Structure 1
Amino acid sequence: MHHFIFKSVRASIFLALALIFTSAQAAQLDLMPDDYVVKPDTVQLAFNLLQRRQIGAYVNGSLPQNSVRISPFLPAIPLAKTVIESQVASIRLSKFMTLGEFTVAPVLVASYRNIENTSSSYSALVDMQKILGEGAQGVHGDIGVGGTLWLVNQPAKHEFLGVTAFMTLPTGDYDARKNINLSENRWRFVLSGGWVTTLGDKWVNEFSPEIAWYGDNNAYRDFTQSRYILNTQLKGTDELSQEKTYALSDTLRYKITPSIHVFSMAQINRGGKTYVNNSKLSDAADNTRIALGLLFYTQGGNQWMLRYQKDTAIENGLRLADEVTLRYMHYF
């Protein structure tokens, strides 16, 4: 019986870990080139397909060989050979509107997620497949809503300055007694900005700062505690909280032709320490990320984007080894 309970606990630890790390180590608003360019009086529908591979749990910039607990969702074991792969499909609906002298665009976002653990064994005594579980899939329960207000909208100069407020709501089903939860059971508020300027006829620069605040999850269960392992019927009685996260991104885009653009992006992410019952863990992201990509426009209001990105430096958490994103966007 205890063996069955422990396996269930391990599966739950893995899924929560994967969901947190796939979102918390990067800017919460995964902005793409052209997102802050105004398309007057149009509806914007975007589909994203993302393939992400993350490896190794870093502590203070290196892979620890000893057992260190760096996350509320992670047991204190060596994780140098951890490999987590995820596929995310998301849909974003937005509409550009005029409000007095300003342009605004409300937005609604939902996503589907599939996660797989392909970790190899750390040693004969540490079986990563058994400890972290094989993975999970399902619809992410939390819906995101928000909008952007443009303070500067000068299409003739191709200069735009927008401010975005976005909130993720705890709308999904959450039960601390279940092995799998695809909802975080907390709200998240993100304030972001985007400044688009041209550099001559061929170059476009897009600069975006961001800050995110996180609510508390008061129904969290610390599965590393023996009281939950011994009694699976207990409801969550722990509190999970997280400090603010910060991100700064800059994208430089080159127009090969009016319909074909290439771009590069650099991003830094800081902050985000988590606490369990006011006990601080060393899991602030503190990573640096780069990306390369291609934008392709076709007639009829269609846009295609292919992007590759990876972490070039990381202090804590899982390192993004590879991520490929394909986005299709339609304006009508």
Structure 2
Amino acid sequence: MRSILKKATLESLATSSALVLAAGLFAGTAQSAEIATDPGDYTPLPAGVNLGLLYGQYTTRDTVYADGDKVPADAGLDTTIGLARFVHFTDIGGVIVDPQIIVPFGKVDLKEPSGPLQATSESGVGDPIVGATAWVINNPDDQEWVGLSAFVSVPVGQYDEDKGPVNVGENRWKGIFQAGYVKHLTDSIALDLLAEYSIYGDNDDFLGFKREQEDAQSLQAHLRYLMSKKSHIALSYYHSFGGETTVGGLEQDDRVNTNRWLATYATFIDPTVQLQVQAGQDIDVENGFKEDTRLNFRVLKVF
């Protein structure tokens, strides 16, 4: 009987604008990249070096899009997310590898009712991510590097099944794969090119339904200007696509197709401490919430 009621509820939502708004919210919580990758991240450091990083990411979203059209409804989604990251560089058979762990935490605020969801917030610790990058090309003489990465997101973060996407945890496994290429074009200009491919397990309790998601992809380009040995600025472009979801067996038509820009300034205030600030926003969004403002902060400690 319960499964029949669930199906009837979902089918009734599918015939109204409620599920369209909810689908927009589901897509809106997807990020441009599953792993925090900044300009210069794919340049390896010597074996034995450790990095401790702390990120702060604040994002506001006030509009929802469906199939490229703005949804005529009040909407608001703010996220305040922190990331604690530890990276260790080591040499394995002559190849530099950096095993690492990332632990997200923070708060997700749904500011306005969206379909079946009421204005609400959720905070806590998210799903930790573990993995590593291996540099298959490491040529400092020519200032050229290629790294291949693999990560897994472990579903042990805080999750409330009744709040669906308004959660810090996701209640599902994720596999994230990246390939990065770095080349210094001149003594002061460097180009980073990255491709990311993400696969998703099922969330078996998403608003009382099963949520499935197709594979998603992301392309990134970072153009850095090295102002000095201590400081650089960069302009980044992100393009994310794919990742359509199915909830309760019904396709949501929420395939991501998002473009975003981000500007970066980073400087070492001490030989072992770097500060970084970033600002940006979405350029266009096909489905989901559009980012109006994104502010990122990062503190990096070398030890």
* TM-score band, normalised by shorter chain: 0.7 to 0.9
Counterpart-to-counterpart distance in 2, 1:290 and 1:178: 30
Match of 1:115 in 2: 108
The separation in 2 between residues aligned to 1:38 and 1:57, in whole angstroms, is 39
Once residues 302 and 52 of structure 1 are traced to their aligned partners in structure 2, the CA distance between those partners, rounded to angstroms, is 25
Answer whether contact 1:15 1:136 (CA < 8 A) is retained: no
- State the partner residue of 2:132: 147
Query: 1:234-279 CA distances to partner (integer Å, 9 max, x unpaired)?
Result: xxxx321000101000000001222121100111110010002331
Equivalent positions of 1:28-47 (< 5 A) are: 28-40=34-46, 41-47=48-54
Contact 2:135 2:148 (C-alpha < 8 Å) held by counterparts: yes
Map of 2:64 onto structure 1 = 57
**Local SS of the residue matching 1:132:** coil
- Corresponding residue for 2:274? 303
> 1:39/1:16 Cα in 2 relative to 1: closer, same or farther (>3 Å)?
farther
Alignment check: 8 A CA contact 1:117 1:133 kept: yes
Residue number in structure 2 paired with 1:290? 261
Equivalences for residues 178-327 of structure 1 within 5 A = 182-222=168-208, 238-327=209-298
Distance 1:178 1:115 in 2: 11
Q: What is the alpha-carbon root mean square deviation over aligned residues?
A: 2.5
Partner of 2:98: 105
Alpha-carbon distance in structure 2 between the residues aligned to 1:178 and 1:290: 30
- Cα separation, partners in 2 of 1:278 and 1:177, compared to 1, 3 Å: closer
Q: What is the match of residue 165 of structure 1?
A: 150
Listed as ranges, the gaps of 5+ residues in structure 2 are 1-20
In structure 2, distance between residues paired with 1:258 and 1:15: 47
Residue 209 of structure 1 contacts residue 249 of structure 1 at CA under 8 Å; is this kept in 2?
Answer: yes
Per the normalisation by structure 2, the TM-score is: 0.85
Of all paired residues, the percent bearing the same amino acid is 24
- The offset of 1:131, in angstroms, is 5.4
**Distance (whole Å) between structure 2 residues aligned to residue 88 and residue 172 of structure 1:** 13
Supply the AA of the counterpart residue of 2:180.
G
C-alpha distance in 2 between matches for 1:154 and 1:134: 50
Q: Is the 8 A contact 1:18 1:115 kept in 2?
A: no
Measured in 2, the distance between the counterparts of 1:133 and 1:178 equals 10
Shift of 1:152: 1.0
Contact 2:24–2:254 (8 Å) recurs in 1: no
Deviations 1:174-226 (A, max 9, x none): 5646897543221000110111100111100000001100001223334xxxx
* Gap change, CA 1:207 and 1:243, over 3 Å in 2: same
Moved more, 293-302 or 238-247: 293-302
Which structure: greater strand fraction?
A: 2
Note the C-alpha offset of 1:47.
0.5
- Deviations 1:33-78, CA, capped at 9 Å, x for gaps: 111111112011110011111121101111133xxxxxxxxxxxxx
* Structure 1 residues 8-27: Cα deviation after superposition (integer angstroms, max 9, x where no partner): xxxxxx999878733x2411
1:232 match: none
1:127-185 Cα offsets, whole Å, 9 max, x none, are 67995314232222x11111100001122332111001011011235564689754322
The structure-2 alpha-carbon separation of the partners of 1:17 and 1:97, relative to structure 1 and needing over 3 Å to count, comes to farther
Matched, 1:330 2:281: no
Whether the 8 Å contact between 2:22 and 2:116 is mirrored in structure 1 is no
Equivalent residues of 2:218, 2:239 under 8 A apart: yes
Q: Give the TM-score of the pair, scaled to structure 1.
A: 0.78
Uncovered stretches (5+) of structure 1, i.e. residues with no partner: 1-13, 66-78, 120-126, 223-237
